[in-house]
Amino acid sequence: MTIHWTLWQKILFRFLFIFLSLISLIAYNPIVQIFDISWEKQTAFFGHLKGFAGWMDNYLFHLGYLPALHSQEFSDTHFGLVITLTIFIVSVITAGIWTIFDRGITNYNKLYYWFCNYLACYIFLAMIPYAIEKIIPVQAHFPNAVELFSRIGNFQKWQLLFLFMGASPAYCMFCGWIELIAATLLLFNRTRVIGGLLMVVALIQVVSFNIFYNNSIILLSSVLLLSTLFIIARAIPKLYLILIKLQPVSLAEHRYRFVTRWKRYALILLCLLPVWKLYSTIKTSWSYYSSAERNRINQRFYKVSLFLQNNDTIPPLTTDTIRWKYVCFLDYSAQYQSMVKYDMGEKIKEYQLKWDTLKKIIIVPEGMNRVHNTIFSYQKLAKGNLRLAGTWHGKSTIIELTNLPVDSMALVKDKFTFMQEDQ
C-alpha cells in the first residue's frame, strides 16, 4: 500500500536528511569513530576549515570568531557554531531546491528506512565510548587524592559534575548500561522504537547535564538527540494512539532488502564495524581503569610539617612563596608517576617523577627539556610519614611529611547500606 506524505512531512524530511547527513560527517564522524583517529588529527583536519569559517562569520554571522585566537574544535565553540549555522543554511536552501524539482514524489519511505539504518549505526558508534567508559568507570573516575583534598569552590561546574558522577561508580555503570542497551536496540528494526525511546531518555539527561553544568559538548550531544528523534519520528503518532488513546496499533514498518549479492555481503561486513568499535573501546577503557585502580591503591597525600632550606626552618606563613604546604604522590603506571606540590596559597603544580626503590631516591625532572633533575633521597618514618632530603631550586632542602590517610576520608568510607543506621 502506497502511503502519501503530506507536503510539510516531505519538506521536513528533506531538510533533516540533508542537515543530519552533513552534520554527522563532522560531529562524531563514523570513520573517525571506527578507526579511533586521534583528537590531534581531527583538529588538524578542522584546521582546513578555519579560513572558510572565518569568512562566513565575517560576512554573515558576526559571532566574533577569530581563527588565530579561537579553538578549531567542533564543540561548543565559535568554530562549531559557525559550521553548524552554515550547514543549517545549506540544508534550508538545498531542501527548497529539492522541493521545487521533486514535486511528483508521494513519499520517501525507502530513503527514510535506509537513512534510519545509517543513523542507528552512527548513534551506536558515537555512544559506545560513552557507554563503555561508564560501565568500566573511567569517564568519571572516583576522585583521586588531589581532588578529594580540594575545596569544592575551586572546581568549575563541569568538573564538579564528573566528580559527582565518579563518586558513585554504581551510578556511572547504571547510566552506561542504559546507553549501551539503547544503542544496541537501535541497531535492529524490531527493537528500534523501544531503543529509540530509551536513548531519548538517556540523551535528554546528557544534554541537560551538559547545559546546566556548562559542559562543552552541548552541540555534539544535541546532534545525537536530534538523530534519535528522527529515527522514531514515524512511530510517535502510533505511540500516542497506543499510550494515550489506548488503541491497538502495529508499530511494524516495511523492511527493505538488498537483492544484489555483493550488496548483501557488503552490508554484513558493515555490521561487523560496531563489533570492532565495541572491542577496541573495551580494551582501551580497561587499560585506563587498571591505571586508575593502581593509583587508588598507591596514591599518598601528605602535609608538610617541616621545611628546611640551608638549615633554616621556613615557617608556615600563608604569604610565603617558597615553602610547601601539601604534597601528593600519584602512581598510575611505571611510566606515569607524578608529584603534586601545594604552595602556602594552595596553588598546585604537578611534576612527573620516577621512584627508585633500590637507591631510595625520587627523581624529579625540571624544565621543559628535562636535562636537569632534582633528586630527593627519601626515608620512610613511623605511621606512614616520609622524610625527603635533597636540593630544591639550588638550595639544600629537608622536608618532613605527615601522612594524611586517603582511606580515612568520609567520602571514601561511605559505602551503600540498606539500613542507614548501620553506617
Q: Above 50 in pLDDT, residue 399?
A: yes
Please report how the helices 78-101 and 7-23 are oriented relative to each other, as an axis angle in degrees rounded to 10: 140
How far is 67 from 77, CA to CA, in rounded Å?
11
Q: Is the pLDDT of residue 5 over 80?
A: yes
Among the ranges given (52-66, 86-100, 406-420), the one the predictor scored with the smallest mean pLDDT: 406-420
pLDDT, position 273: 79
368: pLDDT confidence band, cut at 50, 70 and 90?
A: very low
pTM: 0.89
Mean of pLDDT values over 92-112: 92
**32 — pLDDT class (breaks 50, 70, 90):** confident
Per the DSSP assignment, residues forming a β-bridge with 100 are none
Could you tell me which residue, 44 or 295, shows the higher pLDDT?
295
Q: Counting runs of H as helices and runs of E as strands, what totals does the chain give?
A: 14, 9
| Beta-bridge partners for 354 | 363
The model's confidence at residue 371, banded by pLDDT at 50, 70 and 90, is low
User: What is the C-alpha to C-alpha distance for residues 182 and 162, in angstroms, rounded to an integer?
Assistant: 22
Residue 301: pLDDT band (50, 70, 90) is very high
| pLDDT value for 39 | 72
Q: Domains in the chain, please, with CATH? A: 7-292 (no CATH), 300-408 (2.40.128.20)
Query: What percentage of the chain carries pLDDT values higher than 70?
Result: 96
Residue among 86, 119, 81 at smallest CA distance from 216: 81
- Summarize the confidence of residues 282-300 as an average pLDDT: 93
Residue the block writes with cell 552512527: 122
Region 379-394: mean pLDDT is 91
In the predicted model, is pLDDT for residue 390 greater than 50?
yes
End-to-end CA distance of the chain: 65
Cell of 166: 565518579
Helix H or strand E segment including 85? helix 78-101
Q: What is the mean pLDDT of the chain?
A: 89
pLDDT category at 369 given cuts 50, 70, 90 is very low
Confidence of residue 377 (pLDDT cuts 50, 70, 90): very high
- How far, CA to CA in Å, does 268 sit from each of 115, 265, 419? 17, 5, 51
- pLDDT tens figures, 163-175: 999 999 999 999 9
What are the pLDDT digits (tens) for 317-353? 888 888 999 999 999 998 899 999 999 988 999 999 9
Q: Which helix (H) or strand (E) holds 296?
A: helix 261-298
Give the tens place of pLDDT for each residue, 233-281: 999 999 999 989 899 888 888 888 777 777 777 777 777 778 888 888 9
Q: Are strands 312-313 and 337-343 parallel, antiparallel or unpaired?
A: unpaired
pLDDT single digits (tens) 59-97:
999 999 888 888 888 888 899 999 999 999 999 999 999
